[in-house]
Amino acid sequence: MRTDGTAALAAAHRVWARLEDVMNLIAAAAIFFLMFVGVFQIIGRTVFNTAIYGYIDYMEQASALFAFLGISYAQRVGAHIRMDLLLRGFSLRFMWAMELFAVAVALVIIVVLVDTTWENFLRAWQLGDSTIDIKLPIWPTKLLVPVVLAILAVRLLLQVLDYIRLVLHPDAAPIAVPVIETIEVQAQNEIEEALGREERRP
């Protein structure tokens, strides 16, 4: 049975996960759109001897969408590159404690980055900074960075709280943190997936 604190953490995790899902979908849509525009640019220059005015500037600014919008989602599902070989074989409490330490350090760094990137946005806003070619304002892109990092900071805070709970109760089910599969489980899943594909073949 969940305590009030655990229920609140689970509710906050669900709400934040919805926001992260939406941001990740926007990032995926941005990749598709930029790919489509890139193909249009190549065909236009090759076949019709025409090009999109300010193409490079638009691509540089739009690339921030898929570069940043998915980072909180990736943190939630554990998609970032991990080096956890040394943690294998230790107790569950020790593993949760090391995860807590790593996420707490990341939280401190991200909070610092939120402040510095916000200052960078304010500087671009005040100076009217723009791209070189078509003078496209770059403050929206620079504003995106601290906003996304702030969302990531909240995700890291939720994970810190959950890791603290797991250190105190190692056998409890994780709520706001990714469940990292062991090498054996990953191999078994890959085998089952490969066998499933073989069985579906006519």
pLDDT digits (tens, 9 = 90+) for 45-90: 787 777 777 777 788 888 888 888 889 988 888 777 666 666 666 7
CA angle 149, 25, 138 (to 5 degrees): 50
Beta strands in the chain (DSSP E): none
* pLDDT tens readout for residues 122-179: 998 888 777 777 777 888 888 999 999 999 999 999 999 999 999 988 888 888 888 7
Among candidates 194, 105, 86, 107, which has minimal Cα distance to 157? 107
3-state secondary structure of 183: helix
pLDDT of 110 strictly over 90: yes
pLDDT of 121 strictly over 80: yes
Q: Tell me the residue range of the domain where 114 lies.
A: 4-200
Tally of domains within the chain: 1
d(CA 71, CA 60): 18
